[in-house]
Amino acid sequence: MRRGQALIDTLRARPWGFAAVIAIALLIANVVARSSFATPSSWPATLATFAPFALAAMASTPQILSGAGNIDISIGPLLNLINIVIVAVLIPHGLGSPWVAVPIALGIGAVVGAINGVLVAGMRFQAVLATLCTLFVLEGVAQKILPNPTTGTASWLAHLGNKVGPIPGALILIVVPFLLWFALGRTAYLRTLFSVGGDDAASFSAGVNVTAVRVIAFTLGGVLAGVAGIALAAATQSGDASQAIQYTLPALAAVAIGGTSLLGGRGSLIGSVAGAAIMFLIQTLLDSLAVSDLWLQVVYGMLLLLAIVFSSMLAAPRAVKARTA
């Protein structure tokens, strides 16, 4: 009993630890199942497939951390749209240089994220409804830009999809959000974000500009979706408007598995990566074991359900302290 309590306390303090342990175990299982998984030459390709996944999960995290049931379900279509803009608009129009394409990609992400943030935090729309509307507008725009799948590439994209010097390109992309997060950690923002997510009424009454903090959280998510879009472009070097929502469910599942509370105020970026790694490694493991990947959706769905039940039980003390006013 007391040991159980100690475990719960540890997990509450570092909710991503559990996900990290499972991710490592799955990694080992993957290597056991298929030894080629461990060969360094296979890493760039594996990481390139993993990167959009991990980045989509990270891009969904700040909004959820900002509390009040906030969530951005338009991240999937957003990163797909950004991928399409790079592959099917910028590159064919001779704007494929990274100095042009990267700022545009991040800019689109920031603008769409900010619009979501203003709708939710400023105009008080329910986050699910507002971002659902954005989701469908983005999907519509993607279909208008690219009615049929196409391919397109540039040398920097090919490098990012493979190796930049000795380093797998995808690794660089995955590190970007952490750098951003670290930089924000040097400012007051991250702590304020966690405060707002933990209790928005208390933060507001103490003088925190809750609206600004939330709009920035959505904008930040949008920027990370821009990075994810670049990662998708690098990994696939093609665009397909019909793939808009393939990342929505896995991204949310990864966030929840990574120990971030869907009620806000508790969680981490690293947890989301660990969560994404779990889902990705399950996929590769099923592959190696020659299990039909038809099972994948079942496994994803079960994982998501188990993760939210588990994390809700961890966060239980707060649920008990329900507000009286």
Partner 1 sequence: MSTVGAEARADRAERPSLWVRLGAVQRRFQLFQIIALVALFEWGTWTVTDFATKQSVYSMLVTASFLGLAGAGQTIVVLVGGIDFSIPAFISLGAILMSELTGSHGWAFVPALLVIMAFALVLGAVNGYVSHRFRVPPLVVTLGMASVITGGLLVWTHGQQTGSPPTFLGRLSSVNGTTLGIGIPPVVVIWAVVAIVLGVVLRRTLAGRHVYATGSNPVAAELALVRTRRVWVGAFAASALLAALLGVLIAGYAGAGGTTLGDPYLFEGLAAVIVGGTAFGARGDYWRTVLGALVLTVLSTVLVGKGYSSADQQIIFGILILVVVAGYGRELRLRDRI
Partner 2 sequence: MTAARAPAAVPPAAPHKAQPAGILLEVHGLAKAFGPTRALRSCTFELRAGEVHAIVGENGSGKSTLVKILAGVHRPDAGEVAIGGRRVRGRPSPRAAQESGVVTVFQEVLVVGPQPVLENVWLGTDGVFARRVPVAEKRRRAEEALGELLVTPPPLDVPAEALSLSDRQACCIARALVRDPRVLILDESTSALDVATRDRLFATIQRLCAQGVGVIFISHRMDEIQELADRVTVLRSGQSVATLGRGDADTGVIVRHMTGEDHLTAGVETVPSRARVRGEALLSTEGLRLHPAAEPIDVEIHGGELVGLAGLEGHGQDAFLQALRGAGANAGRVMAGEEARTEIGSPLEAFRAGVVYVPRDRRAESVFPTLSVLENFSVPTLGSDRRAALVRWRATRRRLGEYVQRLGIRLAHPNQPIVALSGGNQQKVILARWLAARPRVLLLNDPTRGVDLGAKRDLYRVLEQLAGQGVAVVMVSTEVDEHVELMDRVLVFREGSLSRTLSREQLSRTALISAFFGESA
CB 105, min distance to partner 2, A: 24
- For position 181 contacting partner 1 by CB under 8 A, the verdict is no
**Total Cβ atoms within 10 A of residue 50:** 25
Of 111 and 296, CB closest to partner 1: 296
* Binds partner 2 by CB under 8 A, chosen from 28, 132, 158, 188: 188
Angle between helices 248-257 and 269-288 (to 10 degrees): 110
- For position 22 contacting partner 2 by CB under 8 A, the verdict is no
Of 100 and 191, CB closest to partner 2: 191
Amino acid at 296: L
Query: What does 175 bind: partner 2, partner 1, none (CB cut-off 5 to 8 Å by kind)?
Result: none
CB 187, min distance to partner 2, A: 4
CB 219, min distance to partner 2, A: 12
**Total Cβ atoms within 10 A of residue 13:** 9
- For position 139 contacting partner 1 by CB under 8 A, the verdict is yes
Amino acid at 37: F
Nearest CA among 58, 38, 5 for reference residue 275: 58
- For position 289 contacting partner 1 by CB under 8 A, the verdict is no
CA distances in angstroms from 180 to 70, 147, 175, listed in the order given: 21, 35, 9
Residues between 110 and 129 with contacts to partner 1, criterion CB under 8 A: 119, 123-126, 128-129
- For residues 250 and 241, what is the distance between their CA atoms, to the nearest angstrom? 18
- For position 205 contacting partner 2 by CB under 8 A, the verdict is yes
- For position 252 contacting partner 1 by CB under 8 A, the verdict is yes
Count residues near partner 1 (CB under 8 A). Answer: 55
Contact status, residue 195 vs residue 131, Cβ threshold 8 Å: no
Contact status, residue 78 vs residue 206, Cβ threshold 8 Å: no
The backbone torsions φ and ψ at residue 206, rounded to the nearest 5 degrees and listed phi first, read -85, 0
Residue with tokens 């993957």: 30
**Positions in the binding site for partner 1 (CB under 8 A):** 68-69, 71, 73, 119, 123-126, 128-130, 132-137, 139-141, 143-144, 147, 200-201, 204-205, 210, 248-249, 252-253, 256, 262-263, 292, 294-302, 304-305, 308-309, 312-313, 319, 324-325
